[in-house]
Amino acid sequence: MSLSILRLDSSINGAASQSRELTDQTIAKLLGAHPDAQVTTRDLAKNPVPMIDNAWLAAVNTPAEDRSDAQNAIADLSDELIAEVQAADVVVIGVPVYNFTIPTQLNAWIDQITRAKVTFQYGENGPEGLIKDTKAIVVLASGGTKVNSPIDFASTYLNHMLGFVGITDVTYVAADAMFADRDAALENAQASLNALAA
Protein backbone atom coordinates (compact mmCIF):
# COMPACT_ATOMS: atom_id res chain seq x y z
CA MET A 1 0.00 0.00 0.00
CA SER A 2 1.39 3.40 -0.97
CA LEU A 3 2.07 6.12 1.56
CA SER A 4 -0.74 8.65 2.01
CA ILE A 5 0.37 12.23 2.67
CA LEU A 6 -1.81 15.17 3.64
CA ARG A 7 -0.15 18.53 3.02
CA LEU A 8 -1.45 21.67 4.72
CA ASP A 9 -0.18 25.15 3.84
CA SER A 10 -1.19 28.18 5.87
CA SER A 11 1.17 31.01 4.94
CA ILE A 12 -0.35 34.16 3.45
CA ASN A 13 2.93 35.01 1.69
CA GLY A 14 2.45 32.84 -1.38
CA ALA A 15 5.62 32.12 -3.36
CA ALA A 16 7.65 34.27 -0.94
CA SER A 17 6.79 32.01 1.98
CA GLN A 18 9.69 30.29 3.73
CA SER A 19 7.39 27.70 5.28
CA ARG A 20 6.02 26.80 1.83
CA GLU A 21 9.52 26.40 0.42
CA LEU A 22 10.51 24.10 3.28
CA THR A 23 7.24 22.21 2.95
CA ASP A 24 8.00 21.68 -0.75
CA GLN A 25 11.35 20.21 0.25
CA THR A 26 9.75 18.01 2.89
CA ILE A 27 7.24 16.62 0.41
CA ALA A 28 10.06 16.04 -2.10
CA LYS A 29 12.00 14.13 0.56
CA LEU A 30 9.00 11.91 1.29
CA LEU A 31 8.32 11.32 -2.41
CA GLY A 32 11.98 10.47 -2.94
CA ALA A 33 11.61 7.67 -0.41
CA HIS A 34 8.08 6.75 -1.51
CA PRO A 35 7.68 7.55 -5.24
CA ASP A 36 4.20 6.05 -5.35
CA ALA A 37 2.91 8.10 -2.41
CA GLN A 38 -0.41 9.89 -2.78
CA VAL A 39 -0.43 13.56 -1.77
CA THR A 40 -3.58 15.47 -0.86
CA THR A 41 -3.03 19.22 -0.57
CA ARG A 42 -5.04 21.84 1.30
CA ASP A 43 -4.00 25.46 0.98
CA LEU A 44 -5.70 26.99 3.98
CA ALA A 45 -4.62 30.51 3.03
CA LYS A 46 -5.87 30.46 -0.56
CA ASN A 47 -8.95 28.36 0.25
CA PRO A 48 -9.68 28.87 3.95
CA VAL A 49 -12.08 26.64 5.79
CA PRO A 50 -14.86 28.40 7.72
CA MET A 51 -14.46 29.37 11.31
CA ILE A 52 -16.69 27.33 13.60
CA ASP A 53 -19.75 29.05 15.04
CA ASN A 54 -23.11 28.24 16.61
CA ALA A 55 -24.41 26.84 13.33
CA TRP A 56 -21.42 24.51 13.12
CA LEU A 57 -21.89 23.36 16.68
CA ALA A 58 -25.55 22.63 16.08
CA ALA A 59 -24.83 20.79 12.82
CA VAL A 60 -22.14 18.44 14.08
CA ASN A 61 -24.11 17.65 17.22
CA THR A 62 -27.32 16.82 15.35
CA PRO A 63 -27.71 13.17 14.29
CA ALA A 64 -27.06 12.85 10.54
CA GLU A 65 -30.60 11.66 9.85
CA ASP A 66 -32.08 14.73 11.54
CA ARG A 67 -29.94 17.43 9.91
CA SER A 68 -31.30 20.06 7.60
CA ASP A 69 -29.72 20.56 4.18
CA ALA A 70 -27.79 23.53 5.54
CA GLN A 71 -26.56 21.48 8.49
CA ASN A 72 -25.52 18.66 6.17
CA ALA A 73 -23.37 21.07 4.16
CA ILE A 74 -21.66 22.31 7.33
CA ALA A 75 -21.09 18.85 8.79
CA ASP A 76 -20.03 17.36 5.45
CA LEU A 77 -17.06 19.72 5.20
CA SER A 78 -15.93 18.88 8.72
CA ASP A 79 -16.34 15.18 7.96
CA GLU A 80 -14.30 15.58 4.76
CA LEU A 81 -11.45 17.31 6.59
CA ILE A 82 -11.44 14.65 9.28
CA ALA A 83 -11.49 11.84 6.70
CA GLU A 84 -8.40 13.32 5.03
CA VAL A 85 -6.50 13.17 8.33
CA GLN A 86 -7.74 9.69 9.15
CA ALA A 87 -6.63 8.44 5.73
CA ALA A 88 -3.16 9.99 6.00
CA ASP A 89 -0.07 8.14 7.12
CA VAL A 90 1.73 11.48 7.39
CA VAL A 91 0.34 14.99 7.80
CA VAL A 92 2.81 17.68 6.72
CA ILE A 93 1.83 21.04 8.20
CA GLY A 94 3.41 24.24 6.94
CA VAL A 95 3.37 26.75 9.79
CA PRO A 96 4.51 30.36 9.64
CA VAL A 97 4.55 31.89 13.10
CA TYR A 98 2.37 35.00 13.29
CA ASN A 99 2.30 36.96 16.54
CA PHE A 100 3.97 34.08 18.41
CA THR A 101 1.38 31.49 17.37
CA ILE A 102 -0.16 29.70 14.41
CA PRO A 103 -2.12 31.45 11.63
CA THR A 104 -5.86 31.90 12.02
CA GLN A 105 -6.37 29.79 8.90
CA LEU A 106 -4.65 26.80 10.48
CA ASN A 107 -6.51 27.30 13.74
CA ALA A 108 -9.81 27.16 11.82
CA TRP A 109 -8.78 23.78 10.35
CA ILE A 110 -7.89 22.47 13.81
CA ASP A 111 -11.28 23.56 15.13
CA GLN A 112 -13.00 21.76 12.24
CA ILE A 113 -11.26 18.44 12.91
CA THR A 114 -11.52 18.51 16.71
CA ARG A 115 -14.84 16.73 17.19
CA ALA A 116 -16.08 14.96 20.30
CA LYS A 117 -16.74 11.24 19.73
CA VAL A 118 -15.17 11.51 16.27
CA THR A 119 -11.53 12.51 16.79
CA PHE A 120 -11.46 12.47 20.60
CA GLN A 121 -13.49 11.18 23.49
CA TYR A 122 -13.50 11.39 27.26
CA GLY A 123 -13.22 8.26 29.35
CA GLU A 124 -12.27 7.19 32.86
CA ASN A 125 -8.69 8.32 32.26
CA GLY A 126 -9.58 11.63 30.67
CA PRO A 127 -9.36 12.59 26.99
CA GLU A 128 -8.35 10.02 24.38
CA GLY A 129 -7.38 10.87 20.81
CA LEU A 130 -9.08 8.71 18.20
CA ILE A 131 -6.84 9.34 15.19
CA LYS A 132 -4.43 6.45 15.33
CA ASP A 133 -1.27 5.55 13.40
CA THR A 134 -0.86 8.99 11.83
CA LYS A 135 2.40 10.93 12.03
CA ALA A 136 2.87 14.68 11.69
CA ILE A 137 5.76 16.69 10.32
CA VAL A 138 5.47 20.33 11.31
CA VAL A 139 7.41 22.64 9.00
CA LEU A 140 7.76 25.85 10.98
CA ALA A 141 9.24 29.19 9.99
CA SER A 142 9.50 32.23 12.23
CA GLY A 143 11.15 35.61 12.23
CA GLY A 144 11.72 36.29 15.89
CA THR A 145 10.28 33.34 17.80
CA LYS A 146 12.57 30.50 18.87
CA VAL A 147 10.93 27.07 19.10
CA ASN A 148 10.46 25.96 22.72
CA SER A 149 11.17 29.46 24.03
CA PRO A 150 8.81 31.11 26.55
CA ILE A 151 7.19 33.11 23.72
CA ASP A 152 6.61 30.09 21.47
CA PHE A 153 2.87 29.49 21.54
CA ALA A 154 2.86 27.87 18.11
CA SER A 155 4.63 24.55 18.71
CA THR A 156 3.23 24.14 22.22
CA TYR A 157 -0.33 24.59 20.94
CA LEU A 158 0.20 22.29 17.97
CA ASN A 159 1.77 19.59 20.12
CA HIS A 160 -1.18 19.71 22.47
CA MET A 161 -3.91 19.76 19.83
CA LEU A 162 -2.33 17.10 17.63
CA GLY A 163 -1.87 14.88 20.67
CA PHE A 164 -5.41 15.62 21.80
CA VAL A 165 -6.79 14.00 18.65
CA GLY A 166 -4.28 11.14 18.83
CA ILE A 167 -1.34 12.31 16.71
CA THR A 168 1.56 11.97 19.12
CA ASP A 169 4.39 11.19 16.68
CA VAL A 170 5.34 14.77 15.73
CA THR A 171 8.60 15.83 14.08
CA TYR A 172 9.69 19.43 13.50
CA VAL A 173 11.56 20.95 10.58
CA ALA A 174 12.09 24.44 11.94
CA ALA A 175 13.70 27.54 10.52
CA ASP A 176 13.08 29.62 13.60
CA ALA A 177 14.25 33.05 14.75
CA MET A 178 15.44 33.90 11.24
CA PHE A 179 15.71 37.61 12.06
CA ALA A 180 18.59 36.79 14.41
CA ASP A 181 20.53 34.54 12.02
CA ARG A 182 18.76 33.50 8.84
CA ASP A 183 21.58 31.32 7.53
CA ALA A 184 21.86 29.36 10.77
CA ALA A 185 18.09 28.93 10.97
CA LEU A 186 17.92 27.53 7.44
CA GLU A 187 20.90 25.27 8.11
CA ASN A 188 19.12 23.87 11.18
CA ALA A 189 15.98 23.28 9.12
CA GLN A 190 17.99 21.45 6.45
CA ALA A 191 19.63 19.28 9.10
CA SER A 192 16.21 18.31 10.45
CA LEU A 193 14.97 17.68 6.91
CA ASN A 194 17.96 15.47 6.12
CA ALA A 195 17.35 13.51 9.32
CA LEU A 196 13.74 12.71 8.49
CA ALA A 197 13.08 8.99 8.54
CA ALA A 198 12.38 7.64 5.08
List average pLDDT for each run of 10 residues in the chain, which is 198 residues long: 94 92 96 95 97 97 96 97 98 97 98 97 93 96 95 97 97 94 93 82
Give the dihedral sign, CA 80/39/132/155.
negative
- 4 labeled binding residue: no
The CATH number of 4-48+80-106+122-194 is which of 2.60.40.3080, 3.10.20.600, 3.40.50.12280, 3.40.50.360? 3.40.50.360
CB 129 within 8 A of CB 120: yes
Is residue 105 packed enough to be buried (19+ CB in 10 Å), middle (13-18) or exposed (0-12)?
buried
This prediction's pTM: 0.94
**If you ran DSSP here, which 8-state letter would residue 172 be given?**
E
The amino acid that residue 78 corresponds to is S
Amino acid 197: pLDDT: 66
Interacting residues of 74 by C-beta distance below 8 A, sequence separation 6+: 50, 55, 56, 59, 60
- 142 labeled binding residue: no
- 10 labeled binding residue: no
Q: Where do the domains of the chain lie?
A: 4-48+80-106+122-194
Burial 76-104 (b: 16+ CB within 10 A, else e): eebbebbebbbebbbbbbbbbbbeebbbe
- 155 labeled binding residue: no
